[in-house]
């Protein structure tokens, strides 16, 4: 961290997620440092300063933590590990499967997993539309991944009957919502990210339970 004010702000921001603030903060900051180093070889993010990563990546990812249901979580198109890695660090009781089509990013995330001793994460190199796995999940999350209709179409087979899909978006996605099948249940929640003024929303989608 650059100074004590920034450190205090970050500690306060994650204090609502954990009582072991220093351990969690240390892992999250180190995660950002790993990204900065790997960014020199791989295009993981356009954000290069730790301070900005902590707000625009870490705290942004954690803004959906209160929406998670169950303890089996699938993160599709995880990329550099968002939102999956921050959520996993602050949800040790849950298990996360991070999926990405870029094998270099999966190799990077495996490096992070080992070095930060994150035991509740598995990694798979695969596209969600080709993901052939019999496991089903309580919550499926994604961040800036695709349109809502595409996300639902490619994810619904991996969702438990009572499960939810949480799609992170910027501005209120009017057009994408209008394109959703009428049988898809959804609600939209405005997200609050400490230190970030830009709009953030989460679209929570689920299967129409009357169909079963």
Looking at residue 210, its pLDDT comes to 56
Q: Are strands 159-169 and 137-143 parallel, antiparallel or unpaired?
A: parallel
Q: Is residue 2 domain-resident? A: no
CATH number at 176 reads 3.40.50.150
Dist. CA 52–CA 48, nearest whole Å: 7
Q: Is residue 43 domain-resident? A: no
Looking at residue 199, its pLDDT comes to 96
Looking at residue 2, its pLDDT comes to 56
Straight-line distance from the first to the last Cα atom of the chain, in angstroms, rounded to the nearest whole number: 51
Q: Is residue 137 domain-resident? A: yes
Residues of the chain with pLDDT under 50: 212
Q: What is the domain count for the chain?
A: 1
Q: Is residue 176 domain-resident? A: yes
Q: What is the pTM of this model?
A: 0.94
Q: Is residue 46 domain-resident? A: no
Q: Is residue 181 domain-resident? A: yes
Looking at residue 212, its pLDDT comes to 47
Query: Strands, E, within the chain: which ranges?
Result: 72-76, 95-100, 121-125, 137-143, 159-169, 185-190, 201-206
The runs of H, that is alpha helices, within 64-164 are 84-89, 103-115, 148-155
Separate counts of helices (H) and strands (E) for the chain: 8, 7
**pLDDT tens profile 60-73:** 999 999 999 999 99
Query: What distances in angstroms separate CA 144 from CA 82, 104, 148, 160, one per listed residue?
Result: 10, 19, 10, 23
Looking at residue 129, its pLDDT comes to 92
For residue 134, count other CB atoms closer than 10 A to its CB. 5
Looking at residue 43, its pLDDT comes to 82
* Residue range(s) defining the domain that contains residue 190: 64-211
Looking at residue 44, its pLDDT comes to 87
Q: Is residue 98 domain-resident? A: yes
């Amino acid at each position: 961290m650059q100074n004590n004010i920034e450190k205090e702000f970050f500690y306060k921001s994650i204090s609502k997620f954990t009582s072991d603030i220093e351990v969690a903060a240390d892992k999250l900051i180190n995660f950002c440092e790993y990204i900065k180093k790997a960014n020199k070889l791989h295009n993981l993010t356009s954000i290069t300063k730790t301070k900005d990563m902590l707000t625009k990546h870490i705290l942004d990812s954690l803004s959906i933590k209160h929406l998670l249901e169950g303890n089996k979580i699938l993160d599709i198109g995880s990329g550099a590990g968002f939102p999956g890695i921050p959520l996993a660090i602050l949800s040790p009781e849950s298990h996360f499967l991070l999926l990405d089509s870029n094998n270099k990013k999966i190799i990077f995330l495996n490096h992070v997993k080992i070095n930060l001793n994150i035991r509740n994460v598995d990694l798979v190199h695969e596209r969600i539309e080709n993901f052939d796995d019999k496991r089903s999940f309580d919550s499926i999350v994604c961040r800036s991944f695709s349109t809502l209709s595409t996300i639902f179409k490619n994810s619904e087979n991996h969702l438990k009957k009572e499960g939810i899909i949480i799609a992170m978006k910027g501005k209120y996605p009017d057009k994408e919502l209008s394109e959703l099948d009428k049988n898809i249940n959804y609600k939209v929640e405005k997200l609050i990210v400490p230190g970030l003024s830009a709009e953030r929303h989460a679209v929570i989608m689920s299967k129409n339970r009357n169909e079963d």
